[in-house]
Amino acid sequence: MDDHTVAGRVVAVLDAVALHRDPVTLAELTREVGIPKPTVRRIAADLVARRMLQRCPDGRYRLGAHLLHLGTRAAVQHGLLQAATPYVQDLFARSGEIVWVCTANDTAVTFMASAFGANRAPDVRRSTWPRDLGSAALQSSALGRVLLAERPGLLETLRGRPPAPQTPHAVTSWPRFLAGIKAVRDTAVAVEHQQCALGFSCVATALRGPDGSLIGCIGITGHTGSLPAERLGRPLLAAARDIGRCARTLHEEPGFHAPQDGTGVVPFRYG
């Protein structure tokens, strides 16, 4: 919705681009933000000049490199990324699969850090992982189940119907889907086998702030035949608990500042 403020319009354009899996056209942006097309064009051009948007060769827009930089710095300043990095590496050493950490707002997830070996690099390069909270692909994933378990309002948007099937292994019964969400609330761990993407399984859990609120998620994704998802639930929960504790400690330390040279930052390597 257009609130007729400069900042509000800029954020609306950025949010609209972020919600899309693929780059978006100027016409699509104009429809979604409800702002006159010349204004959207001018805002988009200014954001491109500041590297907050990138204009593709075909004229469409996607998020720019400067936003990734800002997001990483924000995560470091809050202590989450710095706290999570060693645990991501430890879980990778234990599993040999793709270990990742993300944050989530009301509309999308942002993947911050990951670890994976050369054996999984081809999977990472050719995969497009869902980020929009409204997408059926994300809602079908272990990460999506964690978010749905935490956010009843998001679950309510499905209104008695599970997400559109992404694979033949998808849950198509609403009672079964709700039972899966309840299992996440009971165990604090979501496990998914080939329901988001064929050949892949995932186990995920929430990361919590000092007040117990959701600040992100951590998970392990790998080939269904080699990922012992059920056995990884306990070490994943232990890592999530320790990350939350470390993030609080780092954030509360006097004089804590984000590294100015990116030291210690492990950028997310999907896509």
pLDDT tens digits, 157-216 = 888 899 999 999 999 999 999 999 999 999 999 999 999 999 999 999 999 877 788 888
Note whether 180 and 151 are same-domain residues: yes
Over residues 214-246, the pLDDT tens digits come to 888 999 999 998 888 889 999 999 999 998 887
Q: Where are the alpha helices (DSSP H) in 50-141?
A: 65-77, 80-95, 121-126, 136-140
Inside any domain, residue 32: yes
| 46: containing domain | 6-63
Note whether 207 and 181 are same-domain residues: yes
Q: Are 218 and 75 in contact (CB under 8 A)?
A: no
Note whether 59 and 98 are same-domain residues: no
Inside any domain, residue 267: no
Q: What is the mean pLDDT of the chain?
A: 83
Percent of the chain clearing pLDDT 70 (strictly above) = 85
* Residue 201 burial by Cβ neighbours in a 10 Å radius (0-12, 13-18, 19+): buried
For residue 234, is it left (φ>0), alpha (ψ between -120 and 50) or beta? alpha
Note whether 156 and 244 are same-domain residues: yes
Is the confidence at residue 46, as pLDDT, over 60?
Answer: yes
CATH number at residue 43: 1.10.10.10
CATH number at residue 116: 3.30.450.40
Inside any domain, residue 165: yes
Inside any domain, residue 1: no
Note whether 88 and 168 are same-domain residues: yes
* Residue 61 burial by Cβ neighbours in a 10 Å radius (0-12, 13-18, 19+): buried
81 against 29, higher pLDDT: 29
Question: What are the distances in angstroms from CA 200 to CA 182, 245, 249?
Answer: 22, 30, 35
Note whether 195 and 226 are same-domain residues: yes
How many domains does one find in the chain?
2
Amino acid at 252: E
| Nearest in space to 191 (alpha carbons), one of 23, 181, 49 | 181
